Structure 1
Amino acid sequence: MQVLVTGGAGFIGSNLAERLLADGHRVVALDNLDPYYDLNIKRRNLNTCRKVGEDRFEFVEGSITDESLVKEVIAGRGVDVIFHEAAKAGVRPSVEQPKEYNANNVGGLLTVLETAADNGVDRFVNASSSSVYGVPEYLPYDEDHPNHPKSPYAVTKRSAEYYCNVYDDLQDLPTVSLRYFTVYGPRMRPNMAISNFVSRCLNSKPPIIYGDGEQTRDFTFVDDVVDANLALLDTDAADGETMNIGSSDNISIRKLAEYVVEETGADIDIVHEERKDADARHTHADVSKASDLIDYEPSVDIRQGVSRFIDWYRENRDWYEPLVRN
């Protein structure tokens, strides 16, 4: 099968591409190498895919907003399935750059959707986000929970879901949107909470919590997210649907920081700073819909995942370690 992974040099995209290649598929990764974080990490991600896929892997550098390039990639390579992981990331930066986020996350998605529909792609899998829910009216979130996006990033993700639904209904393009809940693991963006906590602890600096630490997150290990995506290669049961992809539980940021301190063996105290606006107070996924439709079952709890990430971090510290803020 010929698969296109947009955002294929990124954290989730490269992990997905690597697994697709290991399963024998042909993969083309389209990525504009946005310097939102260290490009050396993205280049290493691509090299990992090349080693696994050899002549079955191709990287194309460019933007999903480039219509001619997107057409060349999809039509020229006979793409069967698209995993759309490309997006301008970050809730907080989107507040300062709403137009840029809309142009990429909505305009770019439309470019890929339209081209997919025009060229008979079998399935389009869209990476969405738990941020579409906003302030919870109840927890855990199920897919019927009202949407109250609280950032431009969240608005773009909800808009993308709507467009996927329209193309599924009107353009005969099977689409599925997966709402990810705080994905983490090896090769994760170095500016995320877990990587920041680990980096600071291993450098004898205190983890910094923004706010009181009682805010909670549903952290999802990247292998579980990849499993959910791969399940969609073999079934049409979820076509036209939007599903939560989360873990088995949620955890407070304070408890997470305490886990990291304990697992790294650091002898330091946790520091609190002012809470950032636009951050959700709580997230927690009800994954029963994904369980029913694609047999999704999260397999890695947060303690196991933190331990596995720390082991990976130690082994790859020489090239991965993010700059530790003072």
Structure 2
Amino acid sequence: MSRAEKAPGPAGGAGAPVPAPPGEAAVRRPRPLWTFGLLRSEIVTTVRRWRTLALLGVLAAVPVLVGIAVKIETRGGSSAGGGGGPAFISQITNNGLFLVFTALAATLPFFLPMAVGVVAGDAIAGEAGAGTLRYLLVAPAGRTRLLLTKYTTVMVFCLLATLVVAVSALIVGALLFPLGDLTTISGTRIGFAEGLGRALLIALAVAASLIGVAALGLFVSTLTGSGIAAMATTVGLLITVQILDQIPQLHALQPYLFPHYWLSFADLMRDPVYWDDLTKNLELQALYAAVFGSAAWARFAAKDISA
């Protein structure tokens, strides 16, 4: 006689099946909201790490240093734009809102992608090195969900890091320089409210420019069990690609390198906005995200998790 036939029914008779234990049912049928709980946990854990806070602190300090340097140079009687420098720097003394554009232009080539590379490189390799990766996979998330959660966390950090630079620059610009209507690259005048709107669009464009770096770092993170090695490799690849993007003899290859269109966000300060390079940048970042994201999934799905 089977287990179901032997089990007593509601009135003590036979024939009532025995329900599966609650824990067993939970393992077989993971709740959809569990993934959001994992994502929230990953974001909170990433932001609370001292390394992440240190990176955000460095990013927030860049606009402060740029603003103070321009202020001191202005007091000395020299022109802020006489020595070149990042785009919009010559306009900072006339309108503090230009400090936002200048700070983003100054941090995008190195500081922002380096910070993203560190976080992305540590995403999987850091868990493996700490011995916590297999415990994460015991939960009913699966490797694909975990990888998507890690990548989403890195993209959230991209947005957070960019907003930290922009907000810090806006505060410093308001404290050290006048605010008001501003002149676009095309020579037209726009109001301060519209200027703030374009600053937000520029911040979003800069954050989107880091999607390719995030995917590359996540892929590298699946190749090793050392977080430090993954972070160093990602940053090294970032520097190498940027060097290649500056070599004139490689002009045919450069449009396919992920940093090539990074500074296209300046076209958002044209009137009307010039969308060509902005669109190319987004398409290129999406391509890198698809290629390296797929490579990361293929590697992580077949990875032997022993720690």
Q: Same-fold call, TM > 0.5?
A: no
TM-score (norm 2): 0.22
Structure with bigger helix share is 2
More strand by share: 1
So what's the TM-score if we normalise by structure 1? 0.21
Report 1 or 2 for greater relative contact order, CA contacts < 8 Å, sequence distance ≥ 6: 2
